[in-house]
Structure 1
Amino acid sequence: MKRKYGYLLLESVISLTSIVILIIVLYSVFVFTINLKLRIEDKIELQQQSLEIIKSMEGIISNSMGIINVSNDEETFKKTTSIKCRYVDENITNNEENITNKEIILNERRNKLFVNSLNGENSQAGGYEIGDYVDEMYVSITNDGQYVNIKLKLSKRSQNYETKFKIKIWNFSKSI
């Protein structure tokens, strides 16, 4: 009778090959799930960021008296990096010096939206940030300036997100 005392070289090679294949499959599944998780997190962050931007822009624009620097092309979006909002009617002498015009500025180099206060046509230092990941901003004005349509394009890594929204200017003044 012959006795078997251990593994043969062939058995060792086959078992090592099957273990390596199993490890490669598990590693590729792990990498795939990590990438999927990152893409989902990026998409959610872009959606949340756009909601925060919309909320901030609605507060600024809807409380203004109108938009200063965007033409009234009905339903035609114009690419812009700045939206200037009129808060003070210059035809009426107003003693309140605390009220100034505001400007929403897209810094294309940093992909961020900022709000600055304006004195005349010059912006003051000390603005604040209202959003990240913004690549492009488009604006159109409808109903003789009472409504502002805004389209934002946001991106983070490989994820892109686009949002459109409409803002009614509650304190609209035709004198602008």
Structure 2
Amino acid sequence: MKVRQGYILLEVIVCTFIMSMLIMVLYSIIISAINTKDNIEDKIELNQQAEEMEYHIKNIVENSINIINITTTDNEVIETLQENKTYNVLSIKLNFKSDDENINSKNKKDNQEISFKRDLKKIFINTLYDDNSNKAGGYE
């Protein structure tokens, strides 16, 4: 009886097939884990941005003197709010006392506008000065 030394071709093919299957399974698990990590990071970042926007908007509304008007998604301008009624809002114009030192009168009232631009999918906060000056103000 002959003693075989080494592998036959069939053994090499079977071993290669098994190794390639293990590599494909591990690769798919790694890709799935990376995608899940990216999705979780995106959701966390979006949540942090929403909290930051909520803080700024809440601060502006709390420090305002009164609401000038509200523009709804139907482009209806509402100057008097009805109790227990909800609105789909595009923009809110508020009256507040300015803390800006560049303005001569410290009691000068300025308007602040919080607006949502649908086409850009962004929220803008603009400062609208009463004296019609060309000062740019606001952020997105």
TM-score by length of 2: 0.74
Secondary structure (helix, strand or coil) at the match of 1:5 reads coil
**Are residues 11 and 116 of structure 1, via their aligned partners in 2, closer, same or farther at CA, if it must alter by over 3 Å?**
same
Q: CA deviation at 1:98?
A: 5.0
Map 1:1-176 to 2 at 5 A: 1-70=1-70, 71=78, 72-87=81-96, 95-96=105-106, 99-119=109-129, 125-129=136-140
Q: Could you list the runs of 5+ residues in structure 2 that have no partner in the other structure?
A: 71-77, 98-104
Q: Could you list the runs of 5+ residues in structure 1 that have no partner in the other structure?
A: 89-94, 130-176
Q: For the residues of structure 2 that align with 1:3 and 1:44, how far apart are their CA atoms?
A: 64
Q: CA deviation at 1:77?
A: 2.9
Q: Which amino acid aligns with 1:77?
A: T
Higher strand share: 1
Counterpart contact for 1:116–1:124, Cα < 8 Å: no
Q: Deviations over 1:75-95 (max 9, x none)?
A: 44322221111126xxxxxx5
Q: Which has the higher contact order (CA 8 A, sep 6+)?
A: 1
Identity %: 40
**Are residues 86 and 47 of structure 1, via their aligned partners in 2, closer, same or farther at CA, if it must alter by over 3 Å?**
same
Task: Return the index of the structure with the highest Cα Rg.
Answer: 2
TM-score by length of 1: 0.60
Q: For the residues of structure 2 that align with 1:98 and 1:19, how far apart are their CA atoms?
A: 76
Higher helix share: 2
Secondary structure (helix, strand or coil) at the match of 1:2 reads coil
Q: CA deviation at 1:111?
A: 2.3
